[in-house]
Amino acid sequence: MDELYKFRKEAEFRRFSPRTIETYEGCLRKFFEAVRKDYREITKKDVREFLEELQARKVAGGTMHVYLNAIKFFFEGIMHRNFRIDIKYSRRPKKIPVFLNKEEVKRMLEEVHNLKHRLIIEVLYGGGLRVSELINLKVKDIEINKGYGFVREGKGGKDRIFVLSKVVQDKLKNLIEIEKLEKQNFVFITNRKWKYSDESVREIIKKAAKFAGINKKIGCHTLRHSFATHQIENGYSLNEVQAMLGHKSPETSMIYVHMASPNMLNIKSPLDSL
């Protein structure tokens, strides 16, 4: 479909994440299949009727929001047409995210006997990384002796610094030396020399939680929530946690924190205080 090709080219040019591109493309595909018109002839009324049909089918508010954003991006961002749609829908209320306490993180790590798998969890939790940021981490992106690394083109296409726990620094040096990794190599690769997938990392965390007797429903992002929560417990402020997580605004980080004076100097990883 010509319209989906246009969308993908523009989204890739703007450095949308692969997951966002896939999600928006799926929404647009369903929209164009439902409307059955040449995209140049689609009107605001067509869009409204499509969204109202989703409402009638009791589609969740969050899903409605994604459809609307995908359609708006295509017509406003690519076709340069004004498609402001005033349609009300109920968004799912935000839930407090599941996180682990420090003792649970400690138990999880103790149950992981594969050294590389344990290091994956330590870097993920110790730096507050998203799983996509961890699996795309390259040797050239980490300054082990200086205790920090760089997330390259994270969510929203932005770079940021993350902290490398003292616990992982020698382990990372040994990993790089043993596996003879070059600067351009991914830090975490499988025995077949492939980059880890997010599914593989998710399975590592799931097994570790199970063996540790943790009954909470957790995933890779649970460790990021835990990182943020424990940094607040360690005395860091909203602005500091916002910067560490790479959030655009303080409101996104507000669920973890209360306001305090910002100070990003001498940040330590929560992994060092377990």
Active-site amino acid positions: 130, 155, 221, 224, 247, 256
* CA–CA separation, 105 and 210 (whole Å): 12
Position 217: which residue type? K
* CA–CA separation, 9 and 93 (whole Å): 34
What contacts 95, CB < 8 A, 6 or more positions away?
none
122's tokens:
């330590």
Strands (E), the chain: 142-143, 148-151, 160-163
Nearest Cα neighbor of 130 from 156, 105, 112 is 156
Q: How many helices (H) and strands (E) does the chain have?
A: 12, 3
